[in-house]
A and B are shown apart, each in its own frame.
Chain A
Amino acid sequence: MSATAEKKPPRSLVTVLRPTRGWGGVNLAELWRYRELVYFLIWRDVKVRYKQTLLGAAWAILKPFFSMVVFALVFGRLAKIPTDGAPAPIFYFAGLLPWVFFQDGVTKAGGSLVSGRNLITKVYFPRLAIPLASVVAGLVDFALAFLVLLAMMAYYGVALTGAGWTLPLFLLLAMATALGVGLWLGALNVAYRDVGYVTPFLVQAWLYASPVAYSATLIPEGTWRLLYGLNPMAGVVQGFRWAILGTGAPSWEFLGLSSLVSLVLLISGALYFRRMERTFADVV
């Protein structure tokens, strides 16, 4: 045995291939080594999207904008759902921003592995890079839409509240939730294509379960409101709106619960993804 050990060259990079079983940890160091690839995948997603469509970047703005118009008409004018005293367009737009980011992230990450099939079956890299890039690429759309929000705020004379500094935190929470759900759906989608059909329904139901078209203040305070926080997007959307408009301040317990659930989704999603990852190339 010592003879064979001597043969091994003293090289830094040694890869051992062997069957793995059970639940492995997420190899963040490896993901970091492949950060340039993640960057290029994000860059490709963004570039291709804006190249293929006629209106290109305008879609990033039009999508939440049209939804806002519909919400303002249906929920504001017809159903007369209160908007916590804020101008209806800003109320809806502020809720739609993080929501659209989440919705796009989940949908794209959920389908990313199947559409990235040709990469997965031909080259090795941490598979986590694919859904991660799909979610992060949405930040570009988000940034563009955010500019529109700023313009609208200027128009309606709404100043950013002192809580504006928390916006990045809520965005981070939305990203974690989108990635968590996206990892689950993406990994499941590889084995069961049904997931691709289920996702739109799931996302739609989730929209109504989140305070996008209404305010979380409509939920009775106390236990019920707290339970509502189990939906991490409830915390994100309500928090977002509070940071911009200063209305409907979410309680710490509410936000804490949302963050916790989001974290659970992210970690469990990453672990499940890791577990399924090794069969992706064989099954997809």
Chain B
Amino acid sequence: MTDIAIRVEDLGKRYRIGEGFGAYSTLRDRIGDLFAAPVRRLRRRRGMEAGDPHPPSAVRGPEHIWALRHISFDVERGQVLGIIGRNGAGKSTLLKLLSRVTEPTEGRAEIYGRVGSLLEVGTGFHPELTGRENIYLNGAILGMRRAEIERKFDEIVGFAEVEKFIDTPVKRYSSGMYLRLAFAVAAHLEPEILVVDEVLAVGDAEFQRKCLGKMSDVAQQGRTVLFVSHNMSAILRLTQETLVLDGGRLVLRAPSAQAVDHYLTSGLAQTGERRWDPEDGKVAAAAPFRPVALRVLDHEGRLSGQVAAVDGFQVEFEYELLEDITGLRVGIYLGTSRGEPLFTSFDTDDPEAFERHTLRRAGRYVSRCRVPGKLLNGGRFLLGVNASSYRIRSYFTDEHALAFTVDATGAPGSHWPEHRRGPFRPALAWEIAEAVQ
């Protein structure tokens, strides 16, 4: 028998957008409408009498958008559930609903236990107050009792490494210290259910590592955690199961590896080619660089969504320069379908090549590279592209441009029909010799 911590049934949230009638932004509109409404009603009636087929446009209602709709799922007690999706997919709205910041428009949710929400670190921090004062204030805001804060005070200060500055106003803190303190308070919250949004996306690498460590501690203590992140490796590390949201709908609930794979590769062409629409905002913003297409070609130069691990393959990036660009480098990212980066390579990584192509004239180009055979393991991979001038400008980046499959047939060691771990399966020059006694 399983214990349910959260049960969500057909939950939906609608927001009003735009400045249509009904979306009053100032009192003036409201008062204006107060007088306009009877006139409009009168006019409409007259219009009807006159057989006017077009009612005045002003009677249309305000425009609404469903940020989230028809969401149903259960979370078991002690489960760590990930939530992923593109921007605007409804992840944050879902967390806001579950942490009661805002009310649902329809449906219901039942939550069994005390909820702590962490939609932001340092909520309610006041710059004029000292570190000590802010710990108490922030703790209270997050729902901690005063006695609880007192008990954990030293631990919080120790975790944040701000012992020396605890009686200094936080406005004099460095941004790193501020973040550490803010996270430390939140990390010592001990609710039965923890709801976390992207808080790990801030701070430097070391801080992020520390946060992730703390998060997995929390997960191991048997608490229920809902965790929203764009960081796929964090999702894979911390969660067993993940929800994928898209356009306000729940599209998939699956073991995290599968969910991440789905999220990263869904919507990507499997044909071995990705073309960019010149009308696309992101593409237009990259001017004078203009991406045209990214292709994966098999060893015979044919466009293919599937390549053989033994043969190697080619990656071809076609682009156009609308003006001359100095110091341009065009390259690819290769990563697994779980979002783990494998390598980055640029067309001018070779210093001599960089010298030769210091200035690239306006025109259409293809940058092509060969990925050797007997390097990658079988599986799905993701290609990304980047075009930038080092330290001057990054023109265009698309980290998830194209997905392709590598077929492991004939790869090193395939006479043992077993699954090999890891994204690589290189043929290494082994030597077997008798050990010298």
Contacts and interface: CB of A to CB of B under 8 A. Distances in A.
With most chain B CB atoms within 10 A of its CB, the pick from A13, A195, A282 is A282
Contacts of B145: 36
Nearest to B11: A17
A112 to B, nearest CB: 13
A138 to B, nearest CB: 19
Contacts of A282: 15, 102
B113 interface: yes
Given A14-B112, A281-B102, A7 B1 contact: yes
Interface stretch (B46-54, B128-136, B226-234, B394-402): B128-136
A17 B112 contact: no
A53 to B, nearest CB: 11
Interface stretch (B20-28, B285-293, B317-325): B20-28
A118 B109 CA distance: 25
A17 B146 contact: no
- Tier of interface size on chain A: 35 or more
A63 interface: no
A120 B1 CA distance: 38
Contacts of A120: 101
Given A36-B145, A51-B128, A15 B100 contact: yes
Given A18-B107, A118-B124, A13 B119 contact: no
A193 B26 contact: yes
Interface in A33-62: 36-37, 39-40, 43-44, 47-48, 51-52
Interface stretch (A78-86, A102-110, A121-129): A121-129
B249 interface: no
Interface stretch (B91-99, B210-218, B267-275): B91-99
B189 to A, nearest CB: 11
With most chain B CB atoms within 10 A of its CB, the pick from A14, A36, A43 is A36
Given A44-B133, A123-B124, A123-B143, 18 more contacts: A6-B1, A9-B3, A13-B114, A14-B110, A16-B108, A16-B111, A17-B111, A19-B104, A19-B105, A20-B103, A118-B124, A119-B124, A121-B101, A123-B119, A123-B123, A124-B101, A125-B143, A192-B30
15 contacts: A6-B1, A8-B112, A11-B113, A14-B111, A14-B112, A15-B110, A17-B111, A18-B104, A19-B106, A48-B126, A119-B124, A120-B101, A192-B27, A194-B26, A278-B102
Interface of B: 1-4, 11, 15, 24, 26-28, 30, 77, 96-115, 117, 119-120, 123-124, 126, 128-129, 133, 136-137, 140-143, 145-146, 169
